[in-house]
Amino acid sequence: MNATLTYEPFKLPAGILALAVHLAFFALLYFGFSWQNIPPETMSVDLWQSLPEPVTIPPEPVKPLEIIKPTQPPAQIESIVKPDIALPDKKKKNEAKVTAPKKTEVEAIDDDKPLPKIIVDAKPAAPVVEVDQQALQAARERQEKIAAENVATKRVVDEYIAKISVKIRSNIVEPPNVPKKARAEFLVTLLPGGVVLNAKLVKFSGDTTYDAAVERAILKSQPLPLPPDVAMFKNFRELKLGFEPEK
């Protein structure tokens, strides 16, 4: 019986690879784990049975006050002091004298220094206000004229308001039993020519029949009398008229 040997070329690399894997596994087990037993760290705590007493600093002793006795002044010894009369010293007199510079030196010094400039503040004099007597007289006359015109205007307004009131009163038909103290006031708005635009009751008399009678009389009296000057109409645009029953 003949035995034949067969050569398998892949067994050698496979064996080498298996050996390398086992070696790496053993190296990981050896170096990966710590083989030393390290005891765990412990914490030490000191327990005090009682706290130390605080250190107290003793106060400084109070020094007693020393009583200072007043000392008596020494007896004054009266002595007559004679005044020292100093004799004048000729040398000191000579030093005290101020030597005046010579005239020529003073002139030379004055020529070298510039003369000081004297600045005088020239303030302008206050202007003299001349009163124009003619202007004052004209202004006075103008004011007097305006005052006279106002008086004349008021007189005309009062005159025509009285005429308007008389005309309206003549057209009032008084109802019976009207209170004697009744008074009706109307705000009358006029148009140029004396036409009544509106008559508004602004004060109630207490009797509606009397108020209605006055309103009818106002409308019946138009056109109301106005001054011929058209410029005076602005004084009659709105009139506040009051009416009372005849007593």
The whole-number pLDDT of residue 127 equals 60
- Note the helical H segments in the chain: 11-32, 90-96, 103-112, 133-170, 208-220
Domains and CATH numbers, the chain: 152-243 (3.30.1150.10)
The whole-number pLDDT of residue 98 equals 47
The whole-number pLDDT of residue 58 equals 64
The whole-number pLDDT of residue 79 equals 46
* pLDDT per residue of the chain (247 residues) written in tens, 0 to 9: 454 555 555 667 778 888 888 888 888 877 765 555 555 555 555 555 555 566 667 666 666 665 665 566 555 544 444 445 555 454 454 554 545 444 444 444 455 555 555 555 556 665 655 668 888 888 888 888 899 888 888 998 999 999 999 999 999 998 888 888 889 999 999 999 999 999 999 999 889 999 999 999 999 998 999 999 888 899 999 999 999 887 5
The whole-number pLDDT of residue 26 equals 81
The whole-number pLDDT of residue 109 equals 47
187-193, long-range: CB within 8 Å, 24+ apart, which pairs? Answer: 187/238, 187/239, 187/240, 188/218, 188/224, 188/238, 188/239, 188/240, 188/241, 189/237, 189/238, 190/224, 190/226, 190/236, 190/237, 190/238, 190/239, 192/230, 192/233, 193/223, 193/226
Q: Is 242 helix (H, G, I), strand (E, B) or coil?
A: strand
The whole-number pLDDT of residue 77 equals 45
**Global confidence as pTM:** 0.43
The whole-number pLDDT of residue 117 equals 57
